């Protein structure tokens, strides 16, 4: 049981950092950030203004691949539909590592005053929707685009090899399709060459530009998706005794689901059970035949995941038996928990501090949000940190909202920090 998950921010204190000098190439990296910033921001603006949903990142992938090829990298395309990988081989022997950025946008209509705001619309699940980078993936992609430029310029001095992974569908593939990090791993993205560590970053709404955030150990939760149907017998709303009311049974089940976290799980184990959709009925005076429920479960420990699924089935069975109805439950295991390797986190923390300063490295608690970087970090040790994007005085909405916005000032910070992390790791661990 991950009973220490709530206290994971303390783990880094007890782990000694590796004996190496962080930031040995920071001055040169900073010069290259300034040299490549204008073209990187131009790319960021294009990606933000032309967002693409998961498994549909065709133009973004095309531009990424063209850029990596122009830098002289070996480029692989079409991984997990639209994924791109660039391989940078350094001029000296050393470790093989990977760095990942996600490229997909969300079905959200943008409501910001950015000069490069998105006005794109498309069809998603049969509905006409706006498309927006409402989670900062345009920043992730742009930062890695810039890091590729910087490290290519330093390639002759780099001891090792870097896989630049540009991933589609982090937010999930379209209905009926596969995608994301899971599919990239299954299609062999780590097979040849195989990295010994993987790195990534994610924007954080509300965190100031210039700050970065780290969490050692459990960082982001496992994400499961459930669909349940509660079945009754349709009848006139004025004669409920002649039918079996699925709305009453489903309502009881929704309330009882909340007791799973409150009464079935150890209080020190983080878990969330949320019913996000409750659909039923066609007319005000008809008791319908069934109710459709849909929602998400967030956990860290595999045994808690098992317990939640079992208790949901038991609750639905008990409630519908008592009410005279029946049920079906489809519980889909999704992205596993993202666990930052504690030793790797401790080793790389000085690299972040060298760039932004000790006072601007925030030690963050675990979150119940999910991130499919977990599939990469389950293969090899991973380090995933947060990037501040909030410009002082600006109004910024939460992730996945129409008013979410990331300031351009976060891009050079991300370029410099991630470049430093990658080079520091390669130098410290060269064979």
Residue 300 is classified by DSSP as S
Catalytic residue list contains 170: yes
134 and 105 Cβ atoms separated by less than 8 Å: yes
The four Cα atoms 175, 181, 187, 193 give a dihedral, to 10 degrees, of: 170
Q: Give 98's strand partners.
A: 163, 198
Active-site entry in 52, 57, 104, 171: 104
C-alpha 192/C-alpha 179 separation (Å) is 20
Which run of H or E residues covers position 422? helix 410-428
Cβ neighbours of 409 (radius 10 Å): 15
**What does the chain come to in residues?**
431
C-alpha separations of 366 from 121, 246, 301, 319, 337 in Å: 34, 37, 13, 34, 10
Active-site entry in 26, 52, 110, 170: 170
Nearby residues of 28 by Cβ (< 8 Å), 6 or more positions away: 154
Catalytic residue list contains 104: yes
C-alpha 238/C-alpha 260 separation (Å) is 34
Which run of H or E residues covers position 338? strand 338-340
Strands 92-102 and 197-208: parallel
C-alpha 413/C-alpha 409 separation (Å) is 7
Which residues belong to the active site?
104, 170
């Amino acid at each position: 049981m991950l009973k220490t998950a709530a206290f994971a921010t303390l783990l880094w204190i007890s782990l000694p950092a590796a004996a190496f000098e962080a930031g040995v190439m920071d001055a040169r990296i900073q010069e290259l950030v300034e040299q490549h910033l204008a073209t990187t921001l131009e790319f960021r603006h294009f990606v933000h203004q032309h967002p693409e949903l998961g498994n549909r990142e065709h133009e973004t992938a095309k531009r990424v691949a063209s850029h990596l090829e122009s830098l002289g990298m070996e480029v692989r395309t079409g991984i997990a539909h639209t994924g791109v990988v660039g391989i940078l081989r350094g001029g000296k022997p050393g470790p093989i590592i990977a760095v990942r950025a996600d490229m997909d946008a969300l079905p959200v209509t943008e409501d910001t005053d950015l000069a490069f705001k998105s006005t794109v619309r498309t069809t998603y699940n049969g509905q006409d929707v706006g498309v927006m980078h409402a989670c900062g993936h345009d920043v992730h992609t742009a930062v890695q685009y810039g890091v590729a430029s910087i490290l290519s310029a330093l390639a002759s001095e780099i001891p090792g090899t870097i896989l630049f992974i540009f991933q589609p569908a982090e937010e999930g593939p379209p209905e009926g399709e596969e995608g994301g990090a899971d599919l990239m791993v299954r299609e062999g993205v780590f097979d040849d060459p195989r990295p010994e560590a993987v790195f990534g970053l994610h924007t954080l709404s509300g965190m100031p530009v210039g700050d970065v955030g780290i969490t050692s150990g459990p960082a982001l939760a496992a994400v499961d998706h459930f669909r349940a149907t509660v079945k009754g017998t349709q009848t006139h709303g004025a004669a409920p005794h002649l039918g079996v009311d699925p709305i009453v049974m489903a309502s009881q089940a929704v309330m009882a689901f909340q007791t799973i976290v409150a009464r079935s799980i150890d209080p020190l184990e983080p878990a969330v059970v949320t019913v996000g959709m409750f659909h039923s009925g066609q007319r005000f005076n008809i008791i319908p035949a069934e109710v459709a429920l849909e929602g998400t479960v967030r956990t860290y420990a595999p045994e808690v995941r098992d317990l939640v699924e079992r208790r949901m089935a038991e609750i639905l069975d008990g409630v519908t038996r008592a009410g005279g109805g029946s049920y079906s439950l489809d519980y889909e295991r999704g992205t596993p928990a993202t666990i930052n390797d504690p030793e790797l986190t401790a080793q790389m923390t000085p690299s972040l501090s060298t760039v932004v300063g000790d006072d601007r490295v925030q030690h963050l608690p675990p979150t119940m949000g999910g991130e499919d970087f977990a599939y990469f970090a389950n293969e090899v040790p991973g380090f995933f940190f947060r990037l501040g994007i909030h410009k002082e005085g600006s109004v910024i909405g939460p992730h996945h909202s129409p008013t979410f916005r990331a300031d351009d000032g976060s891009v050079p910070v991300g370029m410099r920090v991630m470049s430093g992390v990658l080079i520091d790791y390669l130098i410290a661990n060269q064979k």
